[in-house]
Chains A and B, each alone.
Chain A
Amino acid sequence: MATQSSRAAARLMVAPSVIVLFIWMIVPLALTVWFSFRIYRLLSPDRNGWAGLRNYSWFLNSPDFWLAITNTLLLVGGVLAITIVFGILIALLIDQPVWGQGPLRILVISPFFVMPPVAASIWENLFMHPQNGLFAAVSHAFGWKPILFMESYPMSSVIFIVAWEWLPFATLILLTALQSLSSEQLEAAEMDGAPAISRFRYIVLPHMIRSITVVVLIQTIFLLGIFGEIFTTTQGGPGSASTTLPYMIYKQAVIAKDIGRAAAGGIIAVILANIVAYFLMRSMGKNLDA
Chain B
Amino acid sequence: MARSVTTQRKVLFTASAWFVALLIFFPVLWTILTSFKTEASAVASPPEFLHADWTLVNYADVWARSDYPRFFLNSVIISVGSTLLGLVIAIPAAWSMAFVPGKRTKDLLMWMLSTKMMPSAAVLIPMYLIFQRTGLFDSRTGLVLALMLMNLPVIVWMLYTYFKEIPGEILEAARMDGASLRNEIIYVLTPMAVPGIASTMLLNIILAWNEAFWTITLTTVNAAPLSAFIASFSAPQGLFYAKLSAASTMAIAPILILGWFSQKQLVRGLTFGAVK
Interface residues of A (CB under 8 A from B): 2, 6-7, 9-11, 13-14, 16-18, 20-21, 24-25, 27-29, 31-32, 35, 90, 93-94, 96-100, 102, 104-127, 129, 131-132, 134, 136-137, 140-141, 164, 167-169, 172-173, 175-177, 180, 210-211, 213-215, 217-218, 221-222, 224-225, 227-228, 232, 245-247, 249-250, 253-254, 259, 262-263, 265-267, 269-270, 273-274, 276-277, 281, 285, 289
- Check if A118 sits within 8 Å of B276, measured CB to CB: no
With A122-B245, A263-B126, A277-B114 given, can you name 6 additional A-B contacts, CB distance below 8 Å?
Answer: A7-B102, A20-B149, A27-B130, A96-B17, A164-B24, A263-B125
5 contacts between A and B (CB under 8 A): A115-B227, A117-B231, A122-B27, A126-B241, A221-B113
Give A204 to B112 CA distance when docked, in angstroms.
31
Q: Which residues of B contact A285 (CB under 8 A)?
A: 106, 110
Known contacts A32-B123, A117-B230, A177-B274; A221 and B116 CB within 8 A of each other: yes
- Check if B20 sits within 8 Å of A249, measured CB to CB: no
- Check if B25 sits within 8 Å of A10, measured CB to CB: no
Indicate with 1 or 0, residue by residue over B82-115, a CB within 8 angstroms of chain A CB atoms.
Answer: 0000000110110111011010001010101111
**Interface size of B in residues (CB-CB distance below 8 Å):** 93
Measured between C-beta atoms, what is the minimum distance from A224 to chain B in Å?
6
- Check if A110 sits within 8 Å of B89, measured CB to CB: no
Give A275 to B241 CA distance when docked, in angstroms.
43
Measured between C-beta atoms, what is the minimum distance from A169 to chain B in Å?
7
Interface residues of B (CB under 8 A from A): 6, 9-10, 13-14, 16-18, 20-22, 24-25, 27-28, 30-31, 34, 43, 45-47, 89-90, 92-93, 95-97, 99-100, 102, 106, 108, 110, 112-127, 129-130, 149, 152-153, 156, 181, 206, 209-210, 212-213, 216, 226-227, 230-231, 233-234, 237-238, 241, 244-245, 248, 251-252, 255-256, 259-260, 263, 266-268, 270-276
Interface of B is mostly: helix
Q: Which residues of A contact B114 (CB under 8 A)?
A: 274, 277, 281
**Residue of A with least CB distance to B148:** A20
**Residue from the list A18, A27, A173, A276 in contact with B270, Cβ < 8 A:** A173
Known contacts A10-B96, A31-B126, A249-B121; A180 and B267 CB within 8 A of each other: no
Known contacts A13-B96, A110-B24, A173-B271; A116 and B149 CB within 8 A of each other: no
Q: Which residues of B contact A10 (CB under 8 A)?
A: 96-97, 99-100, 102
Best-surrounded residue of A31, A115, A247, A265 (most CB of chain B within 10 A): A115
- Check if A125 sits within 8 Å of B237, measured CB to CB: yes
**Residue from the list A106, A169, A246 in contact with B263, Cβ < 8 A:** A106
Measured between C-beta atoms, what is the minimum distance from B209 to chain A in Å?
7
Interface of A is mostly: helix
Q: Which residues of A contact B122 (CB under 8 A)?
A: 32, 246, 249, 265-267, 269-270
Q: Which residues of A contact B210 (CB under 8 A)?
A: 113-116
- Check if A232 sits within 8 Å of B92, measured CB to CB: no
Give A280 to B113 CA distance when docked, in angstroms.
11
Give A99 to B213 CA distance when docked, in angstroms.
40
- Check if A118 sits within 8 Å of B24, measured CB to CB: no
**Residue from the list A16, A123, A173, A247 in contact with B27, Cβ < 8 A:** A123
- Check if A7 sits within 8 Å of B18, measured CB to CB: no
Measured between C-beta atoms, what is the minimum distance from B60 to chain A in Å?
20
Measured between C-beta atoms, what is the minimum distance from B160 to chain A in Å?
11
Q: Which residues of A contact B206 (CB under 8 A)?
A: 112-113
**Residue of B with least CB distance to A136:** B45
Measured between C-beta atoms, what is the minimum distance from A123 to chain B in Å?
7
- Check if A225 sits within 8 Å of B119, measured CB to CB: yes
**Residue from the list A25, A29, A113 in contact with B252, Cβ < 8 A:** A113
Best-surrounded residue of B6, B96, B241, B268 (most CB of chain A within 10 A): B96
- Check if B119 sits within 8 Å of A7, measured CB to CB: no
Measured between C-beta atoms, what is the minimum distance from B46 to chain A in Å?
6
- Check if B238 sits within 8 Å of A132, measured CB to CB: yes
- Check if B248 sits within 8 Å of A118, measured CB to CB: yes
- Check if A16 sits within 8 Å of B89, measured CB to CB: yes
- Check if A227 sits within 8 Å of B14, measured CB to CB: no
